[in-house]
Amino acid sequence: MSWQREPRANGVAKILITEQELQRRIYELGKELDGHFGDRVPLFVGVLNGAVAFMTDLMRAMTIPVEIDFMATSSYGNSTTSSGVVRIIKDLNQPIDGRHLMVVEDIVDSGLTLRYLLEMLEARNPASITVVALLRKNKPDAVDVQVDFIGFDIPDEFVIGYGLDFAERYRNLPYVAVLDPSTIVDE
Ligand code: PRP
């Protein structure tokens, strides 16, 4: 192919995880999850919007049969810090009792979204819940929440790209980057 990606978009202070590093780790996670589920057919529960890039790459890194569904939550609005309020904007399309769920999150920050989501899913009596998060922030005050598989532990900085947004932008970057703080002031 003759095309080349732009090395850096406006608003990017530094690239934290390159496209190649992401894809390599996601391939590994896919193999680990193949082994984890074995003969069980997981129902992927993708948490919109952030998890879209990760989920589509992760499911293609797996060889066992999987099914997919999506939920949408909102905790941040257009701010850079968590409001602590989690709202369900879109629910799953199907009942999940007896199903083996694979909850796919892009990032665990305060942990509030995931905690709320897991409580809600558990109440619907699935056979099991496995949680995979691409990123987990190193945050001492984060709530204790189940995460079974993690792509990368990252420092507590505002990250964008590969599904993660600032004011709904930057989700399309193929890498994970730290947002330039001057972008926040300008918005
Ligand atoms: C982001 C992210 C997680 C959540 C993590 O979602 O996708 O779902 O925040 O933060 P927490 O651990 O502090 O709860 P957001 O509500 O920003 O929606 P989005 O996925 O559409 O960006």
Render pLDDT for 32-47 as a digit per residue (tens, 0 to 9).
999 999 999 999 999 9
Q: Is the pLDDT of residue 129 over 80?
A: yes
The per-residue pLDDT of the chain, averaged, comes to 91
Q: What is the pLDDT of residues 159-179, one digit of tens each?
A: 999 999 999 999 999 999 999
Query: What DSSP line would sit under 44-113, residue for residue?
Result: EEEEETTTHHHHHHHHHT--S--EEEEEEEES-TTSSS--S--EEEE--SS--TT-EEEEEEEEESSSHH
* pLDDT range class, residue 69, cuts 50, 70, 90: very high
* pLDDT range class, residue 73, cuts 50, 70, 90: confident
* pLDDT range class, residue 79, cuts 50, 70, 90: low
Report the nearest atom of ligand 1 relative to the CA of 50.
Answer: 20
Query: Catalytic residue at 97?
Result: no
* pLDDT range class, residue 81, cuts 50, 70, 90: low
Distances (CA, A) of 71 to 68, 86, 101, 125, 138: 10, 12, 13, 17, 25
* pLDDT range class, residue 6, cuts 50, 70, 90: low
Distance of CA 71 from the midpoint of ligand 1 (Å): 12
Q: Is the CB of 130 under 6 A from ligand 1?
A: no
Q: Comparing 6-15, 63-72, 119-128, 133-142, which segment has the lowest mean pLDDT?
A: 6-15
Domains with residue ranges and CATH for the chain: 19-152 (3.40.50.2020)
Q: Is the pLDDT of residue 76 over 80?
A: no
Span 120-135, mean pLDDT? Answer: 97
Residues 6+ apart with CB under 8 A from 140: none
Question: Which residue's CA is minimally distant from atom 17 of ligand 1?
Answer: 76
Stated pTM of the model = 0.90
Which residues on adjacent β-strands are paired with residue 178?
Answer: 14, 159
Q: What is the pLDDT of residues 15-28, one digit of tens each?
A: 999 999 999 999 99
Q: Is the CB of 116 under 6 A from ligand 1?
A: no
Q: What's the length of the chain?
A: 187
Q: Is the CB of 183 under 6 A from ligand 1?
A: no
Q: Is the CB of 70 under 6 A from ligand 1?
A: no
* pLDDT range class, residue 144, cuts 50, 70, 90: very high
